Amino acid sequence: MNPTIRDVAKLANVSISTVSRVFNNPESVNREMRERVLQVIEELGYAPNPFASGLRDNRSMAIVAMIPDLRNPYYAEMLSGIEEVALAHRYNVIICNQIQDPDRYLEYVKYFVKKKVDGLIFASTEVTDFYHDSFQTLNMPVVLASTEGSSWNLPSVRVNDVQASYDATTFLIQNGHRHIGFISGPAHAMITGQQRYEGFRAAMSDHQVPLSDQNVVYGELSFDAGYEAMKRLYAKFPQLTAVYAASDAMAIGAMKFLDQQGLEVPRHVSVMGFDNLDLARMVTPGLTTVAQHITDIGKTAGDLLFHLIDNRDADVQSVTINHEIIVRGSVRNRRLMED
């Protein structure tokens, strides 16, 4: 059995209140006594029982990170940012994975999150009524990461996807491409479908590049879906000289397909991604992409959450994280073309 506050008190010849004060308000206790107590604490290896503190204060010193898929490096990286700031606050991070499965999500909420946790980071998943209702009943601070909840006034941390997508498209255009295919996220997905499409569309339009249904194809954000999407895109738009995909995984799936068709990247087709996963620099050629600074998104979401935890009624503003074009080898400048 671990030592309790009482053991410390007895051995130090003080009351338990004094021991407690040494932890929670050291200034208020006589120097000499304090040192004696501290010594005994050290000696016994005493640490307050977190259940007891939690029971009294209703704080768990834990937050929960809800993400769609741990095996996706995007979320792993975000999680690592969240974990980083949590550690600094001496908080634990509890993982909830595959939250896009409603049953699984409810399971988490029912057994884990209820009252046991001081706050919640909810990542990359559209905040439907379903999720929003559960936030209400949970009654704890919530911060969104890489998704938005403006309709419910929930603070969020994310890049400006419209602008980022606009910039990516513009980069391709400035490199002399005019036949640009877009592999979008699912049509119904607010961010990876609609907003990134919107940025693409706006850039094409602003630069007077023709755009029709022919240019666009939709799919899930995965490698496999990217491969399939590229197949469809190439079938209906074979004259494309560049492809821009709504995620790096998709872009790399597209590269795989192109390679299998004997089309070289970037000699025959240029490819641009979105996210800047570690992966992007590992493939050959390196993938030119829009960096999201994912770790920062996680860290910032953590910062906001802890601010809300310390200060329940704070009016926390959403934060936009800067994006950045990372140039590697997968896009060719057609303005410098020789053959």
Partner DNA sequence: TTGTAGGCGTTATCAC
Partner DNA sequence: GTGATAACGCCTACAA
In what order do the strands lie in the sheet containing 216-218?
A: 216-218, 180-184, 242-245, 270-275, 288-291, 324-326
Q: How far is the CB of 199 from a second copy (least distance, A)?
A: 25
56 near DNA (CB under 7 A)? yes
28 near DNA (CB under 7 A)? yes
106 near a second copy (CB under 8 A)? no
Q: Which amino acid is at 174?
A: Q
- Using the rule CB under 8 A, which residue among 191, 252, 269, 291 binds a second copy? 252
284 near a second copy (CB under 8 A)? yes
**DSSP string computed for 185-212:** S-TT-IIIIIIHHHHHHHHHHHTT----
Q: How far is the CB of 112 from DNA (least distance, A)?
A: 15
Q: Which does 71 bind (CB under 5 to 8 A by kind): a second copy, DNA, none?
A: a second copy
Q: How far is the CB of 167 from a second copy (least distance, A)?
A: 25
Backbone conformation region of residue 210, classed left if phi is above 0, alpha if psi is from -120 to 50, else beta: beta
Q: How far is the CB of 198 from a second copy (least distance, A)?
A: 28
302 near a second copy (CB under 8 A)? no
The token pair at 293 is 């600074």
Residues within window 277-296 making contact with DNA, judged by CB under 7 A: none
Contacts 24+ apart (CB under 8 A), 195-199: 195/161, 195/162, 195/165, 196/161, 196/162, 196/164, 196/165, 196/246, 196/274, 197/165, 198/162, 198/165, 199/161, 199/162, 199/163, 199/164, 199/165, 199/166, 199/167, 199/168, 199/169
Quick one: 86 or 216, whose CB is closer to a second copy?
86
26 near DNA (CB under 7 A)? no
* # residues contacting a second copy (CB under 8 A): 52
Q: Which does 28 bind (CB under 5 to 8 A by kind): a second copy, DNA, none?
A: DNA
* Residues within the interface to DNA (CB under 7 A): 1-2, 4-6, 14-18, 20-21, 23-25, 28-30, 33, 46-49, 51-53, 55-57
